[in-house]
Amino acid sequence: MKVGIIGRTNVGKSTLFKAMTMEDVEIADRPFTTIDPNRGIAYVKVNCPDKEFGIKCNPHNAPCINGIRYVPFELIDVAGLIKGASKGKGLGNKFLTDAMEADALIQVIDISGKTNENGENAENYDPAEDLKMVREELTAWISGLIRKTRVRSKEDLAGAIFKELSGLRFKYETIKEGIKRFSVRDLDNSNLEDFIGYLLDSDKRMIVACNKMDITENLEEKLKTLKSEFKYDFVPCSAGAELTLREAEKHGFISYNGKDFEIIKDMNPQQRSALQVIKEILRRFNGTGVDLLIDTLMFKIMNWKVVFPVMDEKKLTDSQGRVLPDAYLMDESATPRDLAEKVHTEVAKNYKGAIDCRTGLKIRNDKPLDNEQIVKIIV
């Protein structure tokens, strides 16, 4: 599964990317720092079921640290947008193709209002403007692509648009349904914007990361106003704080569990006081917001599932005797057969059914999997 990070320039997209992947990418307080997309592996955390069964796991694809499984997914961070990008302003918007490969999007905004529409330092800038701008620029860009579509016959409209937008990974069914709903008959149709809005809302589900909460005055009030104006899910966060903690942890200064940290190695007074400030943020907000952001996107908005495939339903082992080796992130509609496909094409070929290891009952082949389900694949 892939997640894309988009947003106006200088809001903290790459900081969030770096905090989630620990890839060494450039971050700076100026517009257009990122030019080429950053790609990396990030992790969503779930409880490892080994404790529940009184056994010890042998992790393979998803590491287990202190009883928490880190399930991998791909993350893409792209260049920042500004108003007029669809007309070539800033870095333009062609780079959005990279983010559109993703199955889900995170839009980062700077809720502190301390950077403006061009990513320059400011006071009291309204981030609602960025939400409108990003939607407008996305729509204008997709509209430009759709207008380039060559339609051979009216009957072929959905197929032709599907082909033209293939890199953006909209579903054929969504395009077909959108054409019907908004009576799109030709490519100059006045309903084209509503049609694109429908494609975005259906196939590019999004969460809004309200970043820089650590320097935001009246955060609650600002969140309330945004929620009343837009139908997105908003999660306040501090990518900056998360990154500082992840780096301190990487260098062995602290042990960090996502909610709090403990100092385990001596550091200089400057570092110590920076961490003290972050301690206060963690206390006030019950974390940096980054874990909550990922959990909300994956399990509430996308309804994705983490599933543990095994071959032996009693020992919870794979064919090599490893206990609960793998954990996969699967989409909303994934069935036991899709899981078999994920494990191995050979396993999929010989698939005969699946059993829920907690209940011992057979799972219907067409039934979507549950989150944190342990599934024996019968071959």
Ligand X SMILES: Nc1nc2c(ncn2[C@@H]2O[C@H](COP(=O)(O)OP(=O)(O)OP(=O)(O)O)[C@@H](O)[C@H]2O)c(=O)[nH]1
**Binding residue (CB under 6 A) for ligand X from 49, 59, 80, 287:** 80
Contact 236, 223 (CB under 8 A): yes
Task: Report, in Å, the least distance between residue 25 CB and Mg ion.
Answer: 7
Q: Count residues near ligand X (CB under 6 A).
A: 24
Contact 171, 203 (CB under 8 A): yes
Task: Report, in Å, the least distance between residue 224 CB and ligand X.
Answer: 20
Task: Report, in Å, the least distance between residue 81 CB and Mg ion.
Answer: 11
Q: How many alpha carbons lie under 13 Å from residue 261 in its C-beta half-sphere?
A: 29
Cβ distance to Mg ion smaller for residue 247 or 260: 247
Task: Report, in Å, the least distance between residue 146 CB and Mg ion.
Answer: 28
**Binding residue (CB under 6 A) for ligand X from 6, 15, 161, 208:** 15
The closest of 143, 235, 138 to 193, measured between CA atoms, is 143
The closest of 83, 100, 79, 301 to 200, measured between CA atoms, is 100
Distance CA 324, CA 308 (A): 7
Task: Report, in Å, the least distance between residue 32 CB and Mg ion.
Answer: 8
Check residue 13 for interaction with ligand X (CB under 6 A).
Answer: yes
Cβ distance to ligand X smaller for residue 14 or 139: 14
β-partners of residue 4 are 76, 105
Q: Taking CB within 5 to 8 Å according to partner kind, which of ligand X, Mg ion, none is near residue 116?
A: none
Contact 327, 310 (CB under 8 A): no
Q: Could you tell me which residues come within 8 angstroms of residue 156 by beta carbon, excluding any fewer than 6 positions away? A: none
Q: Stretches 25-33, 159-167, 301-309, 336-344: which one binds ligand X (CB under 6 A)? A: 25-33
Cβ distance to Mg ion smaller for residue 14 or 93: 14
Check residue 146 for interaction with ligand X (CB under 6 A).
Answer: no
Check residue 107 for interaction with Mg ion (CB under 5 A).
Answer: no
For 138-162, letters b (16+ CB in 10 Å) and e give bbbbbeeebeebeeeeeeebbbbbb
Check residue 34 for interaction with Mg ion (CB under 5 A).
Answer: yes
Q: Taking CB within 5 to 8 Å according to partner kind, which of ligand X, Mg ion, none is near residue 97?
A: none
**Binding residue (CB under 6 A) for ligand X from 4, 6, 12, 248:** 12
Check residue 14 for interaction with Mg ion (CB under 5 A).
Answer: yes
Distance CA 131, CA 273 (A): 35
Torsion of CA 59, 63, 67, 69, to 10 degrees: -100
Residues 169-228 that bind ligand X (CB under 6 A): 211-212, 214-215
Residues that bind ligand X (CB under 6 A): 9-15, 27-29, 31-34, 79-80, 211-212, 214-215, 238-241
